Amino acid sequence: MERTLIKNLHGKVGEEVMLRGWVAVRRDHGKLIFIDLRDRSGMVQMVALPNHEEAHAITSTLRSEWVVEIKGLVNKRPPKMVKVEWPTGDIEIEITEVTVLQEAETPPFDLTEDTELIDEQVRLKYRYLDLRTERLQKNIKTRSTFVQKIREHLFSQDFTEIETPLLTESTPEGSRDFVVPSRIHPGKFYALPQSPQQYKQLLMVGGFERYFQTARAVRDEDLRADRGFEHTQIDIEMSFVEMEDVMRTTEEMMIAVAESMGHSIKEKPFPRISYKDAIEKYGADKFDLRTEEEKKTGVLAYAWVIHFPFFEKTDNGKWTFTHNPFSMPIPEHVEWLMKGENIGDILTTQYDLVCNGFETGGGSIRAHTPEILKATYKVMGNSEEEIEARIGHMLEAFKYGTPPHGGIALGVERCVMNLTGEHYLREVQAFPMTRGGQTAVMNAPKELSPEQLVELGLSVKRRPE
Ligand code: ASP
């Protein structure tokens, strides 16, 4: 007999079926023993009656989270007994045969309840059990659906999906790098990408015109509720575009995807606000435009923030970029940049997409000529040699006919937090880290063996306090 999924039981009333899944709950009333069975598609109530003697005896031994194969008859429940809160609430399976595929230890926490209040260390140590719970099943599937729809939309708009390297050179994205020691070049290190920024620009030089990737980005930053070491971004770059084009493409995509997932959007087209006005009005460059009522109903309130200052002063009095050193100033301010004038007043082409209080995306039009990019690095106090060492490869590439281009990256976790109403990144990642930067289930970071250290040419010293 072929396996039936619980979600397909409605078409099988009156038939005998075979189900496989996990025992969520067993309720033993002596003669009648009830099982709630769970598979990837849902949950159904099953009942063992004494007339199927062997099945009844085995059912009486079942415990939560045992993996079973059960055959049974699909019966309609009398209308008064329908459990309206379950999609299969009008159905009950009369058990005829039970096979235990795998017994289970008692889980360290109750998987039929929401695990929000369970200690984080315990949840993450047993993440594979936490993932069985209803909310995490839903969140991870919502994430998958979101990425699928984004992909389909971008393919329909003639984008090409391209992967870029993970072992690479440090990119100046404003955070610390995670580094990987090289075995064949002892004393040298790769950096994990903080974003595919430079590669996606090089793909524009390479003639692809419309690139996207669901890219992993890794940044050694302080961990917060909405920020982890690793995140995934929908990374996009387009040639022959201006700010309006990238913003429109992004906006159309977000509207199409969010609406097809059943969400309504507060305001279309998305309102726009300058950085200056946002700070004056909301005290921050991210804000929540929803009313208290809208917060309860899954409304998405998007807004664009534009006209950010390109540069800000560092603690030691030098200029540094606020968002992205590869950006172009707004057209009116290109000349200031080239002359190194009015630095604090130069506005960048950066656009940030805010939604329900989170910064969910950001991007810009890029400096696509060597002269403009070089001017940015000069403003930041770099000598000719430093510029060459940092971005010489970009300056070289830009000499060979580079189209004007720009792009954006959207944080997948933050988008999915908005779609699910979650407040923590870890609720929408399968295997998040603890707040202390420890991996779920597995034990990283950890020491290397002496042999590995020798092979890598490394020795470990204590950091002075
Ligand atoms: N590279 C930027 C980031 O990761 C996004 C972009 O400008 O496209 O934030």
| Lookup: tokens for 39 | 């598979």
Of residues 173, 311, 158, the one with CA closest to residue 236:
158
Give the Cα separation of 355 and 268 in Å (integer).
13
Q: Does any ligand 1 atom lie closer than 6 A to the CB of residue 408?
A: yes
Position in ligand 1 atom list of the atom nearest CA 324 = 7
CATH fold of the domain at 6-102: OB fold (Dihydrolipoamide Acetyltransferase, E2P) (2.40.50)
Q: Which residues contact 413 (CB under 8 A, 6 or more apart)?
A: 226, 228, 231, 232, 425, 428, 429
Per-run averaged pLDDT (10 residues), the chain, 465 residues: 97 97 96 97 97 97 98 94 90 98 98 96 97 98 98 98 94 82 95 96 98 96 84 98 98 98 98 98 96 94 98 94 96 97 98 97 97 97 94 96 98 97 95 92 95 94 86
| Lookup: tokens for 140 | 């991870």
CATH fold of the domain at 127-440: BirA Bifunctional Protein; domain 2 (3.30.930)
Q: Could you tell me if 422 and 135 are in contact, meaning their C-beta atoms sit under 8 angstroms apart?
A: no
Position in ligand 1 atom list of the atom nearest CA 364 = 7
CA of 145 to the centre of ligand 1 (A): 23
| Lookup: tokens for 397 | 């590439």
Integer CA distances (angstroms), 82 to 35, 47, 72, 78, 85, in order: 16, 15, 19, 7, 9
CA of 341 to the centre of ligand 1 (A): 26
Q: Does any ligand 1 atom lie closer than 6 A to the CB of residue 197?
A: yes
What are the structural domain ranges in the chain? 6-102, 127-440
